[in-house]
Structure 1
Amino acid sequence: MRTFILVLSIFASNYLFGQNRINAYVEFLKEQKSPKEYIFQLWEDADIIVLGERDHRDTTQYNLILDILSDKRFIEKVGNLYLEVGVVNATERANDLIKNSHDKESFHKRFVELQMIEMWSPSYWDKYNRYQLLYGLFQINKELSRENQINIGLLDMEFSWHDSITPKKYKEFYTIQMNREYNTREKIMADNFQTFYSKQQPRNNHKKALIITSREYAGKFHVHCKGNNVKRQAGHIKDMYGNKVKTVALNWYKWLPLNWEKQILPNKSNGLSADGKFDAAFELTNCTAVGFDLDASPFGEDKYDYTFDNDLKWKDVFDGYIFYEPYYNFTGKIGFPTRLNNKQAKEFIRRMIINNQALGNKKDARLLKWFGWIRKYTEKNEYCNMREFKCISIYPNHIEWKSAMDKWIISNEQEQ
């Protein structure tokens, strides 16, 4: 009798979470919490949440992130945010920006000064959501007492564009110290977090943190690919703190840098997760934002976007998943509501020359030396040239993605 019940239970589970039946996915989503409530539910047991963000340029995700950061529960029990973007040695300047009293003009001046020192790349981080996040934190903190203000820590590798940096030293940094596969860099970012976290002061007897990093870094798995075994940033952090760490992915699409389709993973391409099934289920709930555990969900049983040689499922890579805005609404924005001065623009030209020399691009380096005074004005104009676009617009095949989603919606209608 027990064998019969076990077989029946397995059959029922497979039927409910059948990977070819979208209705089970839709009904599951209807029972879930809002993303914000889901995150705070995770913090009831977990101490550290690693949130895998989507396209770095997307501004919509930061509407949710700022909603979480401004919540009284975050301020009282968490209070500490750690970011992939930004070299670790710029952390003090970043906290000065978001914690001290400024008018908007002063904030803009200090924002540009931070951008001059927070990146190891030769140019500034041109994503508007950097401003969106830091100005949002500034607005939150100015209403709080000093001891209740939100702290941030920047996790990227230590680097400085000091006057003694040479093309040889710069090349050594990104080819040897950083490591071509980014394995070394991700371990260093995890170690930087551990250093910060070990010194972090509890809030109301809680020692909790939120880490925002690229989604590929936020997975808790090891990548096995072409004989390489690469542990991700969140995997290193999981090793340090065990089950007190939860990793959560924001909905996105199957993403690879466009040149990877030909060079590194030629049999893969950009598209929608689970061939459109995830997005179709979300669409059939009128895109109601939700968050949920992947384990024991139909979504967790689907193959991960890029299974590599591990044959990964979603639940193998992330503990949780958030649907927030459909993929066709993701809005990128570049540029800032302030300007570079001449000295700052000239400094970026110096860095570009060093970068080109390090890469062996002698012709480009010479042109910048000769005509850098022209490029300087271009950089100044680009910095304050704010423009929006749909994130999917850069992918030539994005029109096909809707058809992939629609086929699941049609199949659901036929199930009814």
Structure 2
Amino acid sequence: MATHISEMYARQTPLNGKRKALVITNQPHAINDSFILKKSNTVYGAQGWWMKKIFGEERVKIVVLSWFDYVLFDGSNFPMTCGGNWDAAFELLECRPFAIDLKNTPYGETAYNGHVGGTTTKSKNKCWQDVADGLIYYAPLYDHVAAWGIEGLVTKEFEPEIKRRLTIFFEATQPGAEIPMEAAIDEYNVFHTYPAAIKSRNEVKELIKNVLENNN
């Protein structure tokens, strides 16, 4: 992904002698993190990590719009980051949008519980400021909706190619595991929407209320 984006960026016509790009990617791919693939002894980097390698640390800024702890998903629920304190602080601001730098802030020093680049490998000993530069709050968690899948995205003609890619991915990240081909294709082809926090809107609001009450 990073290579494709960098090639598109290189083809961009400069405006006033400069190029700029806004890249929107899901959180696991966007972060600045990497690990070693033991089987091949090569580096597997998330898109954000590669973008910073290609363009330089200061020219690439990773800003997160969601703050899920993917690693802590229990099969039915994502617990709120930092015990709900992030969302409680947002609520105290009456949910007005704001943006902050993560470095040397309580947000940035919060433990990061996520996967590297869409793999099943957990990010180890990282804080949010290690994997991202900033954070934008634009809507409360209880108003977020998770949506994915586009009908017909993977055509019958493209199925052999997506299966080839899935095989490479699973052999590299989960050697010996059964590859859920049909389920993976449905992830691309079937439109899904769910409350982003899995719990209902009122349940999330109640959790945030409890955090606020416990901090008073």
Tell me whether the two structures share a fold, i.e. TM-score over 0.5: yes
Q: Are 1:215 and 2:27 matched, yes or no?
A: yes
Q: Are 1:300 and 2:123 matched, yes or no?
A: no
1:204 paired residue number: 16
2:186 paired residue number: none
1:406 paired residue number: 209
2:196 paired residue number: 391
The CA deviation at 1:353 is 7.8
Relative to structure 1, the CA distance from residue 335 to residue 397 in structure 2 (aligned partners, 3 Å threshold; closer, same or farther) is closer
Relative to structure 1, the CA distance from residue 225 to residue 314 in structure 2 (aligned partners, 3 Å threshold; closer, same or farther) is farther
1:289 is matched by which residue type in structure 2?
P
Query: What is the root-mean-square deviation in Å for CA atoms of aligned residues?
Result: 4.3
2:213 is matched by which residue type in structure 1?
I
Pick 1 or 2: higher relative contact order, CA cutoff 8 A, min separation 6. 1
CA distance in 1 between partners of 2:148 and 2:123 (Å) = 36
1:250 to 65, 76, 81: 65
Stretch moving more, 286-295 or 402-411: 402-411
2:196 is matched by which residue type in structure 1?
C
2:140 paired residue number: 326
2:87 paired residue number: 279
Deviations, residues 223-250 of structure 1 (Å, cap 9, x unaligned): 4799996311110110111111101100
Instruction: Give the 5 Å matches for 1:345-360.
Output: 348=155, 350-351=156-157
Mapped contact 1:225–1:309 kept (Cα < 8 A): no
- Gap runs ≥5 in structure 1: 1-188, 263-268, 365-378
Mapped contact 2:112–2:123 kept (Cα < 8 A): no
CA distance in 2 between partners of 1:304 and 1:246 (Å) = 18
The CA deviation at 1:311 is 0.9
User: How many pairs were matched up?
Assistant: 186
The CA deviation at 1:403 is 5.3
Relative to structure 1, the CA distance from residue 301 to residue 391 in structure 2 (aligned partners, 3 Å threshold; closer, same or farther) is closer
The CA deviation at 1:220 is 1.3
TM-score (norm 2): 0.66
Identity %, equivalent residues: 26
2:27 is matched by which residue type in structure 1?
R
Report the structure number with the largest CA radius of gyration. 1
Relative to structure 1, the CA distance from residue 399 to residue 312 in structure 2 (aligned partners, 3 Å threshold; closer, same or farther) is farther
Mapped contact 2:142–2:201 kept (Cα < 8 A): no
TM-score (norm 1): 0.37
2:2 paired residue number: 190
1:283 is matched by which residue type in structure 2?
E
1:315 to 100, 125, 129: 129
CA distance in 1 between partners of 2:200 and 2:195 (Å) = 14
The CA deviation at 1:400 is 6.3
Secondary structure of residue in 2 paired with 1:216: helix
1:318 is matched by which residue type in structure 2?
A
CA distance in 2 between partners of 1:234 and 1:357 (Å) = 25
1:234 to 48, 64, 70: 48
Relative to structure 1, the CA distance from residue 281 to residue 306 in structure 2 (aligned partners, 3 Å threshold; closer, same or farther) is same
Relative to structure 1, the CA distance from residue 299 to residue 353 in structure 2 (aligned partners, 3 Å threshold; closer, same or farther) is closer
- Gap runs ≥5 in structure 2: 116-121, 168-177, 183-188
CA distance in 2 between partners of 1:306 and 1:226 (Å) = 20
CA distance in 2 between partners of 1:222 and 1:354 (Å) = 28
The CA deviation at 1:328 is 0.9
Mapped contact 2:142–2:195 kept (Cα < 8 A): yes
Deviations, residues 137-185 of structure 1 (Å, cap 9, x unaligned): xxxxxxxxxxxxxxxxxxxxxxxxxxxxxxxxxxxxxxxxxxxxxxxxx
CA distance in 2 between partners of 1:248 and 1:303 (Å) = 17
